[in-house]
Structure 1
Amino acid sequence: MSWFSEVQQGSPVEVFALTKAYNDDIFENKVNLGVGAYRTAEGKPWVLPVVRAAEKALANDDTLNKEYLPILGMESFSTAATRMLLGEDNPAVLQNRTFGIQTLSGTGALRVAAEFLAQVLGKKIFYYSNPTWENHKLVFKTAGFEEGREYRYWNNATRGLDFDGLIEDLRNAPEHSVIILHACAHNPTGCDPSTSQWAEIAEVIKERRLFPFFDCAYQGFASGDLVKDASAVRYFVQQGFELFCAQSFAKNFGLYNERVGNLTVVLNNPDLIAPVKSQFTLVVRGMYSNPPSHGARIVAHVLNNPELYNQWQDHIRNMSSRIIHMRKQLRETLEHLRTPGDWSHLTQHIGMFSYTGLSEVQSLHMVKKHHIYMLKSGRISMCGLTPQNVEYVAKAINETVSSLPNN
């Protein structure tokens, strides 16, 4: 008799299973389009030069120690991260009614905030886009939400945003529901609302008394412009919303394994900051007690140093421009091959990921026949494309959609 005899085999996490299969594959021309991490034009991971510089400076600072951080984390980091998101002249910043909490990357920010919403505020229903990052549902349900509902987002026929469906679903959402919104570079589609569409989304959320919860994993990484990529969040704050925003520094700093995140909290009344912080303190204390220091020190060192901050912005412009270039090159190659279908969405969308429009059958064919590893949803990571493999990938897509038409 074992205490664990009734434990059932859990479902594999697709993207990690895909990476393992890729690593085990001995095919010479294999391509990994599943991994959500930046790669250079040579297909290699990149440690940002400002990160190297910060680590050297921190290693040589004998005043630093390994004592515990406060439960809500390093204030110099969270303050800088919050102001990077909202802007120095944001009304919430100027009126001292916003604060940040250092978390275990963006996932930790989502989980801490979701538990606060469920356990402290008694929220029961959350909405997520269809499709969305697969971990949203698991994080919110585990945190105590009773029900997750979808709002329409992707229209596969047009390979673009189903805006009418999105608005209709938000209009039908029960009051006080929590709405997860992707701040920029929607994962997995790469398709974002326009400025006017964001304004209409905000109007419906305000009218229906819904709570906006932004997930911002790609600020600066999407377009290369920190202000542009944060424009939706800033607009909501300017419209008077109270909101949460989960920030990740995995992509834009390349700190994937350091788990550096920030939860920005915006309130309408600065007098409420103290009680709200006290409840967040209890949530974090019961979850992981306090966060690690190394990654947060790196980010704080860069964000609070004007010279390094400018260098870092050059880095993110370089990363985003490489991705934009690969989008353009893939589209041009597909069109040159006269690949069936319209591929204009590849350059109309933004960020690390893109929905190709390939079906599950076609996506599995790409893996099995061409050794091009991509999610069965048809999502690909543009970072996996390089000048050396983009033609091979385009020819594989051409063969796939020609031999297996998507009906």
Structure 2
Amino acid sequence: MAKSRFADVTLGPPIEVFALNKAFADDTFENKVSLGVGAYRTDKGQPWVLPVVREVEKILAADETLNKEYLPILGLDAFSSAATAMLLGKDSAALVENRAFGVQSLSGTGSLRVGAEFLARVLGSKYFYYSKPTWENHRLVFTNAGFEEGREYRYWSESTRGLDIEGFLEDLRKAPENSIIILHACAHNPTGCDPTQDQWKQIADVMQERKLFPFFDSAYQGFASGDLEKDSWAVRYFVSRGFELLCAQSFAKNFGLYNERVGNLTFVLNDTSYVPQVKSQVTLIVRGMYSNPPSHGARIVAYVLNNPKFYDQWKEHIRTMSSRIIEMRKALRDALERLSTPGDWSHITAQIGMFSYTGLNTAQSEHMIKKHHIYMLRSGRISMCGVTPSNVEYVAQAIHETITNVK
């Protein structure tokens, strides 16, 4: 038999979060806890389909005028227009002057990929910067899109368990002109630690001075704080400063549409005359990548964002989700302090959004899995959605035992 063409293919490393999910599913321990997956869970630890999503799905299913024809290459305009307005604000100068537009993409990841490929292949960008640490997929997406090199900028301080703003700014000052800087719009993943508004202003000052290009990743608008305006403040501020920028939006978390892959890539230009050329090049990128996006999830989001009754109902849902996470942060911190767990645990409640960077090291995180059946990333990141009223004491006791016995 001839040698297989696939004989030299090496085994790729497992993707940690998905490997964790499988290990959790296979675990028969009664009190096991999943703190790895980045998806909302109810107080009972169950997935939640938003009631407004259920209601709109029924309306769409009964609409005989809808069909299964292809969407345009750049997606459903009713969706991308509403998503862009949600991000920038309906009264944004960029929208009023027609120099901002959205492109429907395959959730946040697909939006990042389309944007990254445009920057690398059309604009010739070579370097991208990402925070240390960042979401583990940023580097892979931008490298695969054609960038020559990815570099880190300092972000998280182990000693203070907060933002290293001085290191952040220093690294930006050293970045070559025209470098692409990936910025988390809110609820930084994995740390849950965001710059203050004053710190965002400092970041913008340096980026403007150094001619650096912002690429925002907005995966949690509304989900982080329950307030759509607050969670988009950084993006809107950069636009108000006159930056041209890209922003990848995901509707997985704030609409609970994880498997529908609903995303929007917003472009903000400083001159409307360049919009047709940019759209034409993005059209070619999408055509050669996935041709056009799926419609179901986009129609749900478009229907909600364009209908005042459902829009108000949805905003109640995101307040419900964000407030539950905030409550669990407080409960976990209270439990750890009640147990007199070594260390300062104020960062648990200072952080925001889905994830918390606990401060546990690799050995401690692995100990949490092996001894306590609490599944979390080796970096010490936990998903606060997996913490519930029924397991918060167990999680706190496990952290206490781990911190006490594993150095």
Other structure's SS at 2:134 match: coil
- Aligned pair partner of 1:26 in 28, 41, 44: 28
Counterpart selection for 1:158 from 157, 160, 181: 160
**What is the CA–CA distance in structure 2 between the aligned matches of 1:198 and 1:390, rounded to whole Å?**
34
Q: How does 1:105-124 map to 2 (within 5 A)?
A: 105-124=107-126
- Give the 3-state SS of the residue equivalent to 1:252 in structure 2: helix
- Note the C-alpha offset of 1:195: 0.3
Alignment correspondent of 2:248: 246
Number of equivalent positions: 405
| SS in structure 2 at match of 1:251 | helix
Distance of 1:309 and 1:6 partners within structure 2: 53
Please state how far the C-alpha of 1:89 moved relative to its aligned partner. Answer: 1.1
Q: Indicate the SS of the match to 2:70.
A: coil
3-state SS, counterpart of residue 308 of structure 1: helix
Cα deviation 1:189-233 (Å, max 9, x = unaligned): 000000000000001000000000000000000000000000000
Map of 2:133 onto structure 1: 131
Given candidates 231, 234, 239, the residue that maps to 2:233 is 231
Pairing 1:84–2:83 present: no
Distance in 1 between residues matched to 2:406 and 2:161, nearest whole Å: 19
Q: What SS does the corresponding residue of 1:150 show, helix, strand or coil?
A: strand
The residue correspondences of 1:4-403 to structure 2 (distance < 5 A) are 4-403=6-405
Distance 2:65 2:400 in 1: 59
Q: Which amino acid aligns with 1:178?
A: I
Aligned-partner residue type, residue 53 of structure 1: E
| 3-state SS of 1:394 partner | helix
Aligned-partner SS, 2:143: helix
Q: Distance in 2 between matches of 1:135 and 1:378?
A: 17
Deviation at 1:14, TM superposition (A): 0.2
CA offset digits 1:304-331 (Å, max 9, x no partner): 0000000000000000000000000000
- Once residues 203 and 314 of structure 1 are traced to their aligned partners in structure 2, the CA distance between those partners, rounded to angstroms, is 36
Query: How far does residue 382 in structure 1 lie from its aligned partner after superposition?
Result: 0.1
SS of residue paired to 1:151:
strand
C-alpha deviation, 1:358, in angstroms: 0.2
TM-score w.r.t. length of structure 2: 0.99
Task: Write out per-residue CA displacement over residues 30-87 of structure 1, whole angstroms, 9 at most, x where no aligned residue.
Answer: 0000010000000000000110011000000000000000000000000000000000
Cα distance in 1, alignment partners of residues 77 and 63 from structure 2: 19
Q: Following TM superposition, by how much is the alpha carbon of 1:381 offset from its aligned partner in structure 2, in angstroms?
A: 0.2
SS in 1 for 2:214: strand
- For structure 2, the 5+ residue unaligned runs are none
CA distance in 1 between counterparts of 2:402 and 2:159 reads 18
Q: RMSD over aligned Cα, in angstroms?
A: 0.4
2:131 aligned partner, one-letter code: S
Q: Name the SS of the counterpart of 1:364 in structure 2.
A: helix
Segments of 5+ residues of structure 1 without an aligned counterpart are none
3-state DSSP class of the match of 1:114? helix
Question: How far, CA to CA, are the matches of 2:220 and 2:329 in structure 1?
Answer: 17
Query: Structure 1 residue 123: deviation in Å?
Result: 0.4
The alpha-carbon deviation at position 404 of structure 1 amounts to 1.3
Distance 1:354 1:201 in 2: 23
CA deviation map 1:347-395 (0-9, x unaligned): 0010000100000000000000000000000000000000000000000
Aligned amino acid, residue 234 of structure 2: A
* SS in structure 1 of the partner of residue 182 of structure 2: strand
Tell me how far 1:260 sits from its aligned partner.
0.1
Structure 2 distance, partners of 1:243, 1:168, is 21
| Cα distance in 2 between the residues matched to 1:117 and 1:348 | 35
**SS of the residue 2:252 aligns to:** coil
What is the Cα deviation at residue 94 of structure 1? Answer: 1.1
Superposed CA deviations along residues 230-251 of structure 1, whole A, max 9, x for unmatched, are 0000000000000000000000
Task: Render the CA deviation track for 1:7-45: whole Å, top value 9, x for unaligned.
Answer: 000010000000000000000000000010000000000
Paired residue secondary structure (2:183) = strand
The 1-side partners of 2:9 and 2:147 are apart by 23
Partners of 2:268 and 2:204 in 1: CA distance: 15
Measured in 2, the distance between the counterparts of 1:307 and 1:117 equals 38
